């Protein structure tokens, strides 16, 4: 169990050298980072998940297993968290009746905070540099979105056309219809995104170099200085990395010192793992493979998340070629090292993250191959590179880059299992596939419901009837507030109604919202619907990630589709009423019926799309093109129906249900109706 130090207590002493089995060094991304910020951002979810998996009864754990935190020094010169994890040792399949053993794993987590290791560039320098960098980001983002939205849809369509009928979930005609609609909708959506990003770049290109001189104007400085300083604080680190080699070296020095400290903590026999996010991944990768000798620091694993390794590359020197081949260097370092000294490299990238923008490779062609290998691997997709994890964080491009720490199944747990080492029990392949696939479905549902919520919020307050309802609601609330104020002696409550007059058009019959009122009502309604959507998604995600006895897959798919269906059907109804209310001339009954049928087809597609869309797989490390054993033939690729029917999944579900001990009326009702639990049922070994 997690045991935190008492409030106000201090660490008894500094961690002893050589006292730990593994040390994890975490490196933050671009922007200013406070002391212990990146440490807490990752140490808390890692230790929480570590405790959960170590105490899982399905692997033979009991109350003596789990995480014990020893020190949480967050304010010292080198912030560090130390802990011991106790878990049942993985059983040898050749000796299933051997007595159980408990493993103790001593872990230290420390941070490498480089954001204060150099003097930042000036605003003018940053904004002049930002224009070409902005276009590089836009180009890479469009390439990622083209692959994710259009190419993947086309590949899925082609795969289903070639697949045997027994491998398809629906009849071939229905699959073709679903795949065709997906390809059409995604192509149109990509065209809209392309137009928006290109126009944004065109507008910002002449503006960015002028922002610093404009701050000389007093009124502009008062309005914009805070925003611009925040922007410079974020991208200024990137500019310093690319344009100022001395400052870039200062960043890498922090990583080297953190690795040296980690090496002291684990001694000669322990392992050091390096974990880096965003720009920190570029800093850490360059420092580890270009400047340091990994085996001198006992580095055995590099994990990058949202990595800007390809985007940022190396620092630029005048008169030097800006060529950077991180994969080639990593392979050469491993080729010269003994097997026990080689560095494994795992890279996690969210499919909507514009900064990582896909896999790490030395050439765009190799990156495209490894991207395709995440969905439809074949001999043609072989390319050199690290282990690639395409993950689903939020399905929202403006959020995906910063929330890798919240992706428990696809990012946190794989990192946890690496830290716990080979003695920790493994997960059966079908069980692991099911959990990953359900997470993908859940996150895609979150994104689709968010889009539906925005449609509802944008249109609903503008409908004639709903506009009058919103106007009445605002008037009623303002009147009630005014009446409450008037109850206080000496106060006049009439101003409450007057304060909202600009939101309501009283000349209309009945009164309705003004344009400003419509915008404000839409913003408030969008906030409410998105909040409810995220609240429901947290519950569905929890049922996958944290329930000791999760629902069977088919029941989960049905129950979790209900919120998505409500949002999507609600959006379709609002769009139909908008056509009825706004279209001029007024559409006839036949046109309205056709519109309703088309909207119903689109709504049905959106509701079922997450279930039919492909889920990414892990692309193994590829250090030589001669090794083709990592490519799965089409007949061996896992599918959800096959995984559900597998003996491994059915056995685990039965074992978890047998261990159910519901506590309370609601838990008892749930266990009876969804898991077949009966009163008096005792877990094995009780």
For every residue of 541-573, DSSP letters joined together read HHHHHT-SSPPPHHHHHHHHHHHHHHHHHHHHH
Instruction: Give mean pLDDT, residues 316-345.
Output: 86
Q: Is the pLDDT of residue 280 over 80?
A: yes
Per-residue confidence (pLDDT) for residue 255, from 0 to 100: 93
CB 423 within 8 A of CB 475: no
pTM: 0.87
Q: Parallel, antiparallel, or unpaired for β 299-305 and 271-277?
A: parallel
What is d(CA 279, CA 270) in angstroms, rounded to the nearest whole number?
A: 27
Instruction: Give mean pLDDT, residues 319-343.
Output: 86
What's the start-to-end Cα distance of the chain, in Å?
A: 21
Residue with tokens 């340091």: 292
Residue-range domain boundaries for the chain: 22-118+244-426, 125-234, 447-612, 648-686
Beta carbons within 10 angstroms of residue 597's beta carbon: 10
Beta carbons within 10 angstroms of residue 450's beta carbon: 19
What SS3 class is residue 382? Answer: coil
CA distances in angstroms from 448 to 202, 444, 570, listed in the order given: 29, 6, 13
Query: For 42-46, 177-181, 382-386, 565-569, which range has the lowest pLDDT when averaged over its residues?
Result: 177-181
Instruction: Give mean pLDDT, residues 545-572.
Output: 91
Instruction: Give mean pLDDT, residues 102-111.
Output: 94
| Residues of the chain above pLDDT 70, percent | 90
Instruction: Give mean pLDDT, residues 419-426.
Output: 93
- Helix, strand, coil shares, percent, the chain, to 5: 60, 10, 30
Neighbouring residues of 177: CB distance < 8 A, sequence distance ≥ 6: none
CB 305 within 8 A of CB 280: no
Tell me which residue of 11, 163, 31 sits closest to 83, measured CA to CA. Answer: 11
Query: For 185-194, 209-218, 279-288, 315-324, which range has the lowest pLDDT when averaged over its residues?
Result: 209-218
Instruction: Give mean pLDDT, residues 16-21.
Output: 80
Query: For 2-16, 268-282, 399-413, which range has the lowest pLDDT when averaged over its residues?
Result: 2-16
Of 18 and 440, which is predicted with more confidence?
440
How much is the mean pLDDT over the chain? 85
Per-residue confidence (pLDDT) for residue 70, from 0 to 100: 92
Per-residue confidence (pLDDT) for residue 207, from 0 to 100: 78
Per-residue confidence (pLDDT) for residue 631, from 0 to 100: 58
Q: Is the pLDDT of residue 229 over 70?
A: no
What is d(CA 308, CA 30) in angstroms, rounded to the nearest whole number?
A: 10
CATH of domain 22-118+244-426: 3.40.50.1820
Per-residue confidence (pLDDT) for residue 343, from 0 to 100: 93
Task: Quote the tokens at residue 329.
Answer: 């260097």
What SS3 class is residue 116? Answer: coil
Task: Quote the tokens at residue 657.
Answer: 């249900």
Per-residue confidence (pLDDT) for residue 442, from 0 to 100: 92
220 falls in which pLDDT band (50, 70, 90)?
A: low
Per-residue confidence (pLDDT) for residue 276, from 0 to 100: 95
216 falls in which pLDDT band (50, 70, 90)?
A: low
Task: Quote the tokens at residue 194.
Answer: 């392309």
Q: Could you tell me the maximum CA-CA distance found in the chain, to the nearest angstrom?
A: 88
CB 341 within 8 A of CB 295: yes
């Amino acid at each position: 169990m997690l045991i935190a130090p008492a409030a106000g207590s201090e660490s008894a002493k500094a961690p002893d050298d050589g006292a730990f089995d593994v040390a994890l060094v975490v490196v933050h991304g671009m922007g200013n980072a406070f002391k212990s910020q990146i440490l807490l951002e990752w140490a808390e979810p890692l230790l929480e998940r570590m405790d959960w998996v170590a105490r899982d009864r399905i692997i033979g754990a009991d109350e003596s297993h789990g995480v014990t935190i020893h020190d949480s020094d967050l304010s010292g010169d080198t912030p560090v968290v130390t802990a011991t994890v106790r878990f049942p040792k993985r059983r040898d399949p050749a000796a299933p009746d051997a007595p159980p053993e408990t493993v103790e794993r001593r872990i230290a987590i420390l941070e490498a905070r480089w954001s204060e290791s150099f003097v930042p560039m000036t605003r003018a320098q940053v904004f002049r540099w930002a224009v070409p960098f902005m276009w590089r980001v836009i180009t890479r983002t469009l390439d990622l979105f083209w692959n994710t939205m259009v190419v993947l849809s086309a590949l899925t369509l082609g795969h289903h056309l070639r697949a045997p009928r027994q491998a398809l979930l629906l009849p071939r005609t229905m699959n073709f219809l679903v795949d065709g609609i997906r390809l059409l909708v995604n192509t149109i959506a990509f065209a809209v995104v392309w137009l928006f990003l290109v126009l944004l770049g065109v507008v910002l290109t002449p503006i960015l170099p002028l922002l610093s001189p404009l701050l000389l104007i007093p009124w502009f400085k008062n309005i914009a200085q805070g925003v611009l300083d925040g922007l410079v604080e974020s991208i200024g680190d990137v500019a310093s990395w690319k344009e100022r080699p001395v400052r870039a070296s200062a960043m890498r020095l922090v990583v080297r010192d953190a690795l040296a400290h980690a090496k002291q903590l684990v001694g000669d026999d322990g392992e050091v793992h390096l974990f880096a996010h965003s720009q920190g991944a570029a800093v850490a990768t360059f420092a580890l493979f270009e400047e340091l000798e990994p085996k001198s620091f006992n580095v055995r694993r590099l994990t990058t998340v949202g990595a800007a390794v390809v985007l940022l590359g190396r620092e630029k020197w005048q008169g030097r070629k800006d060529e950077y081949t991180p994969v080639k260097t990593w392979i050469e370092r491993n080729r010269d090292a003994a097997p026990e000294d080689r560095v494994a490299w795992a890279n996690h990238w969210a499919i909507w993250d514009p900064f990582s923008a896909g896999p790490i490779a030395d050439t765009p062609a190799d990156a495209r191959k490894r991207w395709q290998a995440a969905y439809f691997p074949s001999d043609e997709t072989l390319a050199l590179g690290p282990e690639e994890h395409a993950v689903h964080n939020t399905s929202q491009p403006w959020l995906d880059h910063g929330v890798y720490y919240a992706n428990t199944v696809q990012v946190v747990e794989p990192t946890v299992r690496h830290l716990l080492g080979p003695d920790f029990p493994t997960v059966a392949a079908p069980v692991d596939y099911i959990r990953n696939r359900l997470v993908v479905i859940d996150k895609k549902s979150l994104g689709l419901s968010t889009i539906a919520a925005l449609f509802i919020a944008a249109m609903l307050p503008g409908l004639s009837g709903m506009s009058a309802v919103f106007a009445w609601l605002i008037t009623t609330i303002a009147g009630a507030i005014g009446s409450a104020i008037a109850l206080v002696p000496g106060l006049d409550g009439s101003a409450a109604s007057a304060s909202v007059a600009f939101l309501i058009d009283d000349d209309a019959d009945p009164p309705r919202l003004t344009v400003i009122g419509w915008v404000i009502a839409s913003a408030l309604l969008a906030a409410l619907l998105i909040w409810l959507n995220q609240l429901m998604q947290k519950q569905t995600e929890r049922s996958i990630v944290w329930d000791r006895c999760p629902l069977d897959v088919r029941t989960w798919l049905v129950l979790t589709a209900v919120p998505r269906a409500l949002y999507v059907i609600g959006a379709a109804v609002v769009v139909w009423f908008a056509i009825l209310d706004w279209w001029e001339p007024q559409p006839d009954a036949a046109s309205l019926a056709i519109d309703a049928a088309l909207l119903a087809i689109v709504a049905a597609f959106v509701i079922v799309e997450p279930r039919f869309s492909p889920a990414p797989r892990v692309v193994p490390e590829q250090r030589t093109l001669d090794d083709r054993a990592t490519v799965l033939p089409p007949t061996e690729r896992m599918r959800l129906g096959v995984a559900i029917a597998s003996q491994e999944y059915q056995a685990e579900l039965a074992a978890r249900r047998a261990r159910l001990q519901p506590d309370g009326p609601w838990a008892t009702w749930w266990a009876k109706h969804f898991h077949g639990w009966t009163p008096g049922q005792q877990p094995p070994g009780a």
